[in-house]
Amino acid sequence: MLLSRVAERVYWQARYLERAENTARILSVFSALLMDLPRGTKVGWDTLIQITGNEKDFAQRFKQAQERNVMRYLLSDRSGVSVVDMLAQTRENARTTREIMPTEAFELINELYFMAKDRAVQGVDRGERHELLEGIVADCQQIWGLLAGTMSRDDAYSFIRLGRSIERADMTTRIVDVGSSNLLPDIDDKGTISDTREPYENVLWMNVLRSQSAFQMYRQHVRQRIKAHEVVKFLLQDEQFPRATAHNLTTMTKVLSKLPNHSKVTWQVGKVRKMVREADVDRLLRRGLLRHLDAVQLEIAQVHVKIADTWFLPNK
Amino acid sequence: MRVNWKSYNPGKFYDELISSPGYARKPARRLASYLRSLNHEDLLRKKTAAELAIKTMGISFTVYSDAGNIDREWPMDIIPRLITASEWDQTSKGLEQRLRALNCFIHDIYNDQKVLKDKLLPADLIFDSGNFRKQCVGIKPRYNVWAHICGTDLIKDEKGQFHVLEDNLRVPSGVSYMLENRRVTKRVFPELFDSNYNIRQVTDYPAELLDMLSSLSPRQVKYPSIVVLTPGIYNSAYFEHSFLAQRMGAELVEGGDLVVENEKVYMRTIGGLEQVDVIYRRIDDLFLDPEVFNKDSVLGVRGLFNAWQKGNVALANAPGAGVADDKIIYTYVPKIIKYYLDEDPILPNVPSYMCVEKAQRDHVLKNLDKLVVKPANESGGYGMLIGPQASKAELEEFARRIKANPRNYMAQPLISLSTVPILGERSVEPRHVDLRPFILQGAKSYVTPGGLTRVAMVKGSYVVNSSQGGGSKDTWIVEDF
């Protein structure tokens, strides 16, 4: 039976790896978005800081939330939230659970960390950025593939899936945040978008989908041109797409059923799942989406609390 | 530029590769000519490849320093060290014999104390030893074996003869590096494994260790629950703890993962408590159980000693086993072998002087500048005096320490350690080495083919400890031809 301490570490290893990948994806989509917008358009780089919830800390380190500072903060600096930091955390958790993970997994994580650490500073510049971020995402995918292809479906693997799913469920809500925030200038106070802005809104949502490798799947399954409410529904409520929030919550329910003493956690996941699946996206897009996403994020945080209470700190 | 063995000169020392400049010893000839076939640049490239492999494989050790603990890449020189099978088979017998005798001795000390009644050695030596655990008196571990895992340090003298330098019976480390060095060498010199040499494999060790540990289980179950108890990720040997747990399929636990209830040991799992049968502990005696030993220990497990005493869990090595790896007791080992086994020691000790005996102490004090002085209970090469390399102040300081506490010191002539070639920046150069084979004893005995070769990377230096700048080498036991 899996040790509680080890369960906690593999769970965090998966969360950090997923977070590193998602942060890289967000930086990548944001950078791509810039190129599709008319020259001179000012984009709210500070939105990225808000999404990751680090406004205060960022303000202490930098005066302005412009491209270079935000890239440094989220990519290369030892800020505690950068891609390099996430990979360092992944590596540390992997280093301390090597006895139960496939050897090759640690070696890949180790290599990825060194690669990212060595190249992150260059990645702050646009010239090198795309290749670096794509490389990080691809390496993360390789690690997930290796784990899926070589680990027995035992308790350790269950905690890896739990960690990855909870992180994805949460991150996808944050990525929807990116799309629905006041990214673009000239949005009027009611949040409605004037006709002249619509093409750019579509560009934005297309890039949001791309950041989640969701563009093709959206095309095949939604069969609608890119529209905000369809994209939001897809990313939050789709049961088939592996990065959609609902899909990940469902996955968690399935994984949980295999673990001992799972009832409290399962109940909490069910609560979030209901919130996500039953949300009226059309209405929320007109008003209240951000608040709803915040509430979902808080409930997901409670899922983590229940996981920790149930398995990580028993008898203490 | 090609490797030139004519300019490789070990001087007065016994070199394991060449007998005189330009002439390789018979078993080393193929290695020497293979290396000669390469450019120095080729060799440096292979060295870089090895360093990269070590980095990506995450083979590391931790160095303690004031600036915090640093995880460093394991230092390995790529040129392997050769020992012939016939020489090794004899050495291996000697190691096994030695551990058998030491286990008889430890068991006797904690039970009948016949050896003291027969006055083979003064009883004070035992009872004053920092490694004697009075709590262990009367305990009879399975097979009467206390030291299940032993790392014995060997050196070769001026004639190329192996001598025992010390026995490590508490928590000897290094075996994972022996295994990883081989893995790296296979990547770097695949050609040499082809037809050049018939090399004995070392990869069996984790399986042998698992078998030995299983043989200690108090519960007769098919798959006893075995754990490796580590002080945690900040310990210098954490890599090894994790490595061995992984290779054995055992759980790697920290003190906080274990709990004792009803005199049995359990680990905390996601499904609740699960009983543990065998603990391969990599924590010092004094930190094992705050109820019995060091009260402030947070690394250990409350009640563990009692569970062991009641026979509900096996501990490897048993607490108290260190009583026989004291450097003063070491000097008696040849007599101990004769006493318990009625056999002549196969492996000689390095000649030693015991400062506790007046005549020998006077000799030591008079010849301090020619001798190596070692404290009884230090490891890692700390607290030693190397007379010929010491300053006047250091010599005086050691004379004072010896007079104040003679029981705590022994001295040995400075043995001229053998040399082997390492890859330097410009050429191959001779450096001093020692060897740590690992010996297991449970239901049966096992000796690793070879062991961990440690090499002093600094020219002329004898300090091989990795914590003090030493390196390592893959060690090949090759069939004679």
Verify whether the Cβ–Cβ distance A260 to B243 is below 8 Å.
no
User: Long-range pairs for A251-254 at CB < 8 Å and ≥24 separation?
Assistant: A251/A161, A251/A165, A252/A161, A252/A162, A252/A165, A252/A166, A252/A169, A252/A303
Total structural domains within chain B? 2
CB of B226 within 8 A of CB of B210? yes
- Decide if B296 is inside a domain: yes
pLDDT for the residue A186: 45
B304 and B366 in a single domain? The answer is no
B228 and B308 in a single domain? The answer is yes
> Contacts of residue B274 in chain A, CB cutoff 8 Å?
1
Verify whether the Cβ–Cβ distance B251 to A6 is below 8 Å.
yes
C-alpha B248: how far from chain center: 20
Verify whether the Cβ–Cβ distance A110 to B269 is below 8 Å.
no
Summarize the confidence of residues B241-245 as an average pLDDT. 93
Task: Provide the domain limits for residue B364.
Answer: 353-413
Print pLDDT tens along chain A (316 aa): 899 999 999 999 999 999 999 999 988 888 887 777 776 666 678 888 877 778 899 999 999 888 899 999 999 998 889 999 999 999 999 988 888 889 899 999 999 999 999 999 998 888 889 999 999 999 999 999 999 999 999 999 999 999 999 999 999 998 888 777 655 444 444 444 444 556 677 788 888 888 888 888 888 888 777 888 889 999 999 999 999 999 999 999 999 999 999 999 999 999 999 999 999 998 988 888 888 999 999 999 999 999 999 999 755 4
B368 and B307 in a single domain? The answer is no
What CATH number should be reported for the domain holding residue B397? 3.30.1490.270
- Residue of chain B with shortest Cα separation from A92: B233
* Domain stops at, among B365, B381, B413: B413
B308 and B357 in a single domain? The answer is no
Interface contact B254, partner A, CB < 8 A: yes
- Decide if B329 is inside a domain: no
What CATH number should be reported for the domain holding residue B271? 3.40.50.11290
- Domain range list for chain A: 1-151, 154-316
Residue to test with chain A: of B270, B279, B301, most A Cβ within 10 A: B270
DSSP B161-203: -EEEEEEE-SS---HHHHHHHHHHHHHH-GGGGTTT--B---T
- Decide if B299 is inside a domain: yes
B418 φψ region: left (φ > 0), alpha (ψ -120 to 50), beta (else): beta
* Domain stops at, among B281, B312, B343: B312
Facing residue for B268 by CB, picked from A99, A155, A314: A314
> Contacts of residue A98 in chain B, CB cutoff 8 Å?
58, 242-243, 246
Residue B294 C-alpha, separation from nearest chain A C-alpha, in angstroms: 23
- Decide if B149 is inside a domain: no
> Contacts of residue B55 in chain A, CB cutoff 8 Å?
110, 114
> Contacts of residue B51 in chain A, CB cutoff 8 Å?
none
Complex prediction ipTM? 0.77
Beta strands (DSSP E) in A261-308 are: none
DSSP A38-64: PTT----THHHHHHTT-HHHHHHH-S-
Interface contact B252, partner A, CB < 8 A: yes
Angle subtended at Cα A93 by Cα A88 and Cα A97, rounded to the nearest 5 degrees: 145
B224 and B308 in a single domain? The answer is yes
φ, ψ (nearest 5 deg) of residue A76: -110, -30
B290 and B371 in a single domain? The answer is no
- Decide if B268 is inside a domain: yes
The whole-angstrom separation of Cα A152 and Cα B315 is 30
Q: What is the pTM of this model?
A: 0.85
> Contacts of residue A259 in chain B, CB cutoff 8 Å?
270
- Decide if B13 is inside a domain: no
Residues B138-155 have pLDDT tens digits of 999 999 999 999 999 999
Residue of B17, B27, B23, B16 whose CA lies nearest to B479: B27
Interface contact B246, partner A, CB < 8 A: yes
Q: What is the pLDDT of chain B when averaged over all its residues?
A: 91
Residue B477 C-alpha, separation from nearest chain A C-alpha, in angstroms: 27
pLDDT of residue B379 exceeding 80, the answer is no
> Contacts of residue B256 in chain A, CB cutoff 8 Å?
5
CB of B20 within 8 A of CB of B5? no
CB of A99 within 8 A of CB of B246? yes
Residue A315 C-alpha, separation from nearest chain B C-alpha, in angstroms: 8
More confident residue, B279 or B64: B279
Residues B314-361 have pLDDT tens digits of 999 999 999 998 888 999 999 999 999 999 999 999 999 988 888 999
Whether residue A54 has a cis bond before it, omega within 30° of 0: no
Verify whether the Cβ–Cβ distance A99 to B273 is below 8 Å.
no
Neighbouring C-alpha atoms within 13 Å toward the C-beta of B191? 8
pLDDT of residue B380 exceeding 70, the answer is no
